[in-house]
Structure 1
Amino acid sequence: MIEVKSVGSSSSLHQKVLERTSQSLNTDDNAPSFVSRVGDAIKDVAEAQNISGDITKAYELGEETDLAKVMVTQQVSSLGFQMTLNVRNKVLSAYKDIMNMPV
């Protein structure tokens, strides 16, 4: 037979859940946060797009002669943007799902 221990009040249960959640989330204080990681990823994609634009302009002006390098740089930039867009769409979808959950 399973014993169920009753908790004094719902607020103490809420406090215990919050404590366990904060303990599980604070595994390493030196690790970068999710927000900083996402920000760094967006900056990397923006940098790749800027590099792609610069090298494309250089090719059009005749300063760059390696067409393969230009095409690969454009593809890297395009893939980074598409990946960022897909992550954004998934996050928005998850947000909408959470907001539509019954409480």
Structure 2
Amino acid sequence: MGKPRLTGTLPHESVIYREVQRGARASELSGMFNVPVKVMQGFIDCRRNRWAESPPRLLESDDRKVVIEVEDYRDHAYRRVRISLPRNSLYAPANEVRP
């Protein structure tokens, strides 16, 4: 029997940046997102210098975009996913509370 195949996907860059700033190692992040350690370490190494100069924009709502959370079901597990949408899209007004 071989090793189980890792089938995860890398999240938005700002999510990895936030976790690295909190002290998470590539091995911890690879387990968290179900990707190989080499892939996660390569992702972090390629961006470390750029992050020192200017951190990535975080997935937060502002005057240009709306960030919503949805539940995703994949690989027999539910997870919460943050999705960024342009504020001028047709979807954004439907999610905003009106008085």
Rg comparison, structure with higher value = 1
* TM-score, normalising length: structure 2: 0.29
